[in-house]
Structure 1
Amino acid sequence: MKKLAVFALSAAILLSGCATIVGERSQVVNVESHPTGAKFSIQDETGRVIVTGNTPQNVVLDKSNGHYFGGKKYLITFTKESYQPLTLPVRSSANGWYIGGNLVFGGLIGYLLVDPFNGGMYTLHPKSANAMLTPQAQ
């Protein structure tokens, strides 16, 4: 029985990536503007509009597209009457759990096989997209 418990624990550690265990597949991003009340639309890397709304608002965005090392990229476009449109990028990057956690727990299996398919290895930046809108020239 003791050998079975040790085997099960070892298998769980070896067959998992640290970021997959600790991280989430999606992340809340705060979308704000100055002045408030701007319309926004968020497009992913394929050009598909996935979210529209008005500032301020929190949105939940996927961090991975499910492909091998498939971190997501987004463009947030802000519009408001009498102001110039503004587009801000949101990009994913590897987080500390992927980089450091796999040194301790996941090893090569975590680095190369488990975490690259899961959004848990990524963090979206910026975590708060704040557009400073410029008035249009009269």
Structure 2
Amino acid sequence: MFKKIALGASIAALTLASGCASILSDSKYPVTIASTPSGANFSVVNEAGLDVHSGVTPDTITLDASDGFFSSATYTVNYQMAGYNEQSFQLKAGMDGWYIGNILLGGLIGMLIVDPATGAMWKLPATAHVSLQSQTASTSVDGLTIASIDQIPEELQSQLIPVE
């Protein structure tokens, strides 16, 4: 009888000591870095400004969803490609749905300690994709007016410079 009670108490303690998200989820996620057109150089920078990964699109990399206890990770993906404007994409971890499962399975220990400490309470999006905009030479004619000499007032004609 004592062994059954001890076994039951052990199982209950293990269930309460674990977090729901840390059991059913992960703290690192594969993220596909993509661009249209493909072949762009990219670099992934964390909140501290450190370059954590770089490569050429498309590529799949693994990133931490947590940036510390109760802190989600945020990354900036910078894209560069010859003939296209540089672009950035903000990649921010959101709350993992399994974290709410602590109400049923993990209890307060899972919700307040285990999942925040392991980072399993956060989840990153699966894709960071941008459509690169091609660079175009801009020719602004806002300040240019073509006029014949008789359309210019006489007081301004003395300021004209002949073009040879």
What does residue 122 of structure 1 align with?
122
More strand by share: 1
Give the corresponding residue for 2:27: 25
SS in 2 for 1:102: helix
Output the amino acid matched with 1:112: L
Q: Determine the structure 2 residue equivalent to 1:10.
A: 12
User: Cα RMSD (Å) of the superposition?
Assistant: 1.0
Larger radius of gyration: 2
CA distance in 2, matches of 1:16, 1:73: 26
> 5+ residue gaps in structure 1?
none
Q: Distance in 1 between matches of 2:70 and 2:118?
A: 8
Amino acid across the alignment from 2:89:
L
Within 5 Å, which residues of 2 pair with 1:58-69? Answer: 58-65=60-67, 67-69=68-70
Contact map agreement 1:23 1:119 (CA 8 A) in 2: no
Q: Give the TM-score of the pair, scaled to structure 1.
A: 0.93
TM-score by length of 2: 0.79
Deviation at residue 121 of structure 1 after TM alignment: 1.3
3-state SS, counterpart of residue 120 of structure 1: coil
Offset of 1:46 from its aligned partner? 0.6
Deviations 1:68-104 (A, max 9, x none): 20211100000000100000011011111001x1111
Question: Which structure ranks higher in relative contact order (CA pairs < 8 Å, sequence separation ≥ 6)?
Answer: 1
Name the % identity. 35
1:84 aligns to what? Answer: 85
What amino acid sits opposite 1:130 in the alignment? H
Q: Which runs of 4+ in 1 moved over 6 A?
A: none
